[in-house]
Amino acid sequence: MTEPVLSVRDLTVEFVTRRGTLRAIDSVSFDIAPGEVLGVVGESGAGKSLTGTAVIGLLDPPGRIAGGEIRLSGRRIDDLPADEMRRIRGKRIGMVFQDPLTSLNPLYRVGDQLVETIMTHLPVGRDEARRRAIDLLAEVGIPAPERRIDGWPHEFSGGMRQRVVIALALCAEPDLVIADEPTTALDVSVQAQIIALLKRLCRERGTAVMLITHDMGVIAETADRVAVMYAGRIVEIGPVREVVKHPRHPYAQGLMGSIPALEESRERLQQIEGSMPRLAAIPKGCAFNPRCPHAFARCMVEKPVLLESGASRVACWLHDGTGLGEETAA
C-alpha cells in the first residue's frame, strides 16, 4: 500500500474551561490514501468538523491538541510553527467550507482571489496565474470563464460560488482537500452537481479528500470509506458499502435506520432514543451505552476500542469476538 496522504493517530482535542477540561475529540485515528475520499459522518456535536479544523491547524483557543499526531505524506504537521503551517494550508491542504458566500471576499473580483492564491503558492507570474485561473474555472464548470473571471462574488449564484471555492481549494494542486459540509447550503439539484464535480476532480488529480457531512446520502455516493463519529470518537470505520448497507455499531445501525429512504416507504422510522451527550457529561465506558439497546455490563465501565469486524473496524464490545453478545448483534 502506498503511503497515506493524511495519517491521524490518537488525535485528542481538549477545551480548557473554568469548569474543567472538556475532551471534544478522544483518540481518533484514521488514514486517507491518495485519491481516496474518506467520509466523516455524525450528528451535531460528534466532533467531525473539529477533527477537520485540528488537521488544518485552525483550532481556536481554548481548544488545543492535547495528544496524538497528524502526518501529511509522512511529515508531522501538528507541531509546526504557525507560519510554516500557513504555507502548508492552501498549498498542500485545500479547504471547502459550507457557506460559499463567506469563503469568498465580497470586495475582490473572483479572478483576483484566484490569481492571488495561485501566485502565493506557485512560482508563476501574473499572466500565467490568470491563464491557470481561467482553466480552473472552466474545469469546475463555470460557463464563459474568460468573462466570468472578472465578475464579483455577488454576481454568482450559490452553486456557482461553491464551484469557485472548489477552484480556489484546488488551485495550488494540494495533496489533500478538506470539505466541511460542502453541499449543505445548496439546493438538491445543485448539490448533485457539486458532489459529482468534487469527486471527478479529485479522482483525476489523485487528491485525497476528507469529506465532512451529516448527510448520509452524500457520503453514500461520494466516499470510498466512511468514519462514523459519536461523542468525539470514531465508532465505526470501513468501506462505504459495508457501513451503509451493513452497519455493525448499534449507533451506526440506528443512524442508517433513521434516514427516510427514497426507494421504499416504511410506516415508521427506526429511532434512537435520547440524544447525544453533552461534552461535560459523557457517560463512563462506551459513550453510547445509555441509548444502546444491546448495552451490557462491560459497556458501562470499559471504553471500547476499534476492533476488526469483517472489512470494517468497530468500537463496540459486541464485536469483541469473545462470543458474548454476538447473537444480539446479528
Partner 1 sequence: MSAAPERPMLEVADLRKSFDVSKPFLERMLGGGHRQYLKAVDGVSFTIRKGETFALVGESGSGKSTVARMVVGLMPPSAGRIVIDGNVLSGRQGYPRALRRRLQMIFQDPYASLDPRWRVADIIAEPIRAFGLAPDRATEQARVGELLSLVGLHPADGVKFPHEFSGGQRQRIAIARALAADAEFIVCDEPTSALDVSVQAQILNLMKDLQQRLGLTYLFISHNLAVVRHMAATIGVMYLGRIVEVAPAEELFSRPRHPYTRMLLDAVPDLGMTGRTRRPVQGEVPNPIDPPSGCTFHPRCPLANDRCRAEAPATIDGVACHAVQEGRTEPGRAVSA
Please report, as ranges, the residues that interact with partner 1 according to CB under 8 A: 43-44, 157-160, 187-193, 195-196, 214-218, 220-222, 240-241, 244-245, 254-263, 265-273, 275-276
DSSP symbol at 173: -
Count CA atoms within 13 Å of residue 290 on its CB side.
12
Which C-beta is closer to partner 1: that of 102 or that of 258?
Answer: 258
Q: How far is the CB of 173 from partner 1 (least distance, A)?
A: 25
Q: What order of strands is seen across the sheet that includes strand 208-212?
A: 93-96, 176-180, 208-212, 37-41, 225-230, 233-239, 312-314, 307-309
Q: In sequence order, which residues have a C-beta less than 8 Å from that of residue 131 and are 6 or more positions away?
A: none
Of 6 and 186, the one with the shorter C-beta distance to partner 1 is: 186
Q: Which is nearer to partner 1, 55 or 211 (CB)?
A: 211
Neighbours of 307 (CB within 10 A): 16
- Rounded Cα distance between 233 and 56, Å, is 19
Q: How far is the CB of 270 from partner 1 (least distance, A)?
A: 7
In the complex, least distance from residue 50 CB atom to partner 1, rounded to whole angstroms: 16
DSSP structural state of residue 259: S
Query: Which lies closer to partner 1 via its Cβ, residue 91 or residue 214?
Result: 214
Smallest separation, CB 183 to partner 1 (Å)? 8
Cβ closer to partner 1: 19 or 268?
Answer: 268
Long-range contacts of 56-62 (CB under 8 A, 24+ apart): 56/89, 56/93, 56/95, 56/178, 57/82, 57/85, 57/88, 57/89, 58/89, 59/13, 62/15, 62/16, 62/17
Judge contact between 224 and 206, C-beta under 8 A. Answer: no
- Minimum distance, C-beta of residue 251 to partner 1, in the bound complex (Å): 9
Give min distance, CB of 93 to partner 1, in A: 25
CB-nearer residue toward partner 1: 147 or 278: 278
Find the length of the chain.
330
